[in-house]
Amino acid sequence: MDDYSTDRITLARKFLAPSNSTHRQYEALRAFFVDGLPSAEAAVRFGYTPGSFRILVHQFRRDPQRLFFLPHGRERRPPGKQNRLREQVIALRKQNLSVHDISRCLARESEPLSPAAVAAILKEEGFARLPQRLESERHDRPRPIAAEIADVRQLDLTPRAFRTKFGGLFLFLPYLVSSNLDAILSRAGFPGSKMIPAGCAVRSLLALKLFGNARHSHVMSSVFDEGLALFAGLNVIPKRSFLTE
C-alpha cells in the first residue's frame, strides 16, 4: 500500500482528531511535552481553552503515572492476585467442582472469575473436563422444592396460624355450604377419587376464578399457599396437570 494513499490519510485522522476525551488529553499532552508545541497552540489544536489546558498540564505534572490506556484483561490483576486465583481454581477442581461451581465459589469470596476464565486456567494446568453428572451430584446448586401430593386424607385441621394471600376466598364459604356443592356434584356425576374428591377439585378451580386468575395454569405459583389448599379442603392444591385434566 502506498504510504500516501487515501486510506492511510483517513486512518491518520483517527489519531489527529480524537473523539474520546481520554485520547484527546493524551494527544494534547503529547504534543506539548514531546513535540514541543506551545501551550496556547496545543490548546487550540485539541479544543481546549488556554486556562483549561494549563490545568490539564498541571494535573499531569502531579500525577505523571496516570493511565491513558486500559491494560489487557489478563494484565489488570496484579501478578500476585493472578497466582492466588490460579491456586484457588486448582484447589477447588481437586474437590471435583465444575467450572461453574468454581466460578460461584470465587464470586462469594469477592474474587469474581468467569466460567470461561476458570476453564482456561484448568486447561493450561492439564485438567480434563469432568464427565456429565447427575443433578443430585451437582454441588451447591439451588434446586426446586417439590410440593406434596394433593390428598384429602392428609388434610391437617390442627389449629394453627399461617399467612395467605387468598384470605378473601373464605368469605364465600357460607354460600358454598348453603348450596350443598358436594351433593350437587355427586348427583351430576362429576369425577373424583379418594385422594381428590369431586368437591375438592371443583373448589380448587373455583378458588382460582374467584381470586381473579384467568387460567388454571397459574396455580403453580401458589402450590405452597396453605390458605388456597384449605379453601379447597385439601392438604395442598392440585397441580396444573390435574386441573387441566
CATH number of residue 36's parent domain: 1.10.10
82 or 124: whose pLDDT is higher?
A: 124
53 and 81 within one domain: no
SS3 state of residue 106: helix
Q: What is the pLDDT of residue 141?
A: 54
| Segment 152-166, tens digit of pLDDT | 898 888 898 988 888
Total domains in the chain come to 3
131 and 107 within one domain: yes
45 and 84 within one domain: no
SS3 state of residue 185: helix
Report residue 64 as a C-alpha cell. 505523571
Q: What DSSP string describes 49-76?
A: -HHHHHHHHHHHHH-TT--SSPPPGGGS
Query: Are the C-beta atoms of residues 85 and 77 closer than 8 Å to each other?
Result: yes
DSSP state of 225: -
86 and 48 within one domain: no
Domain that holds residue 156: 152-244
240 and 159 within one domain: yes
SS3 state of residue 34: coil
Mean pLDDT value of segment 30-56:
88
192 and 223 within one domain: yes
> In this structure, is residue 145 part of a structural domain?
no
Dihedral sign from CA coordinates of 28, 29, 34, 39: positive
Q: Which residues of 168-189 are buried (b: 16+ CB within 10 A; e: fewer)?
A: ebeeeeeebeeeebbeebeeee
85 and 54 within one domain: no
86 and 56 within one domain: no
Q: What DSSP string describes 108-155?
A: HTT----HHHHHHHHHHTTPPPPPP--GGG-SS---PPPPPPP-GGG-
Alpha-carbon gap, residue 165 to 213, rounded angstroms = 13
Cβ contacts of 82 within 8 Å, gap of 6 or more? 74
> In this structure, is residue 176 part of a structural domain?
yes
> In this structure, is residue 90 part of a structural domain?
yes
Mean pLDDT value of segment 118-130:
82
93 and 125 within one domain: yes
Domain finish residue from 40, 62, 84: 62
> In this structure, is residue 185 part of a structural domain?
yes
> In this structure, is residue 146 part of a structural domain?
no
Q: What is the pLDDT of residue 86?
A: 85
194 and 165 within one domain: yes
169 and 215 within one domain: yes
**Res. 234: pLDDT tops 60:** yes
pLDDT confidence tier of residue 6, bands split at 50, 70 and 90? low
> In this structure, is residue 38 part of a structural domain?
yes
> In this structure, is residue 143 part of a structural domain?
no
> In this structure, is residue 213 part of a structural domain?
yes
Nearest CA among 226, 241, 82 for reference residue 157: 226
Query: Are the C-beta atoms of residues 167 and 227 closer than 8 Å to each other?
Result: yes
100 and 124 within one domain: yes
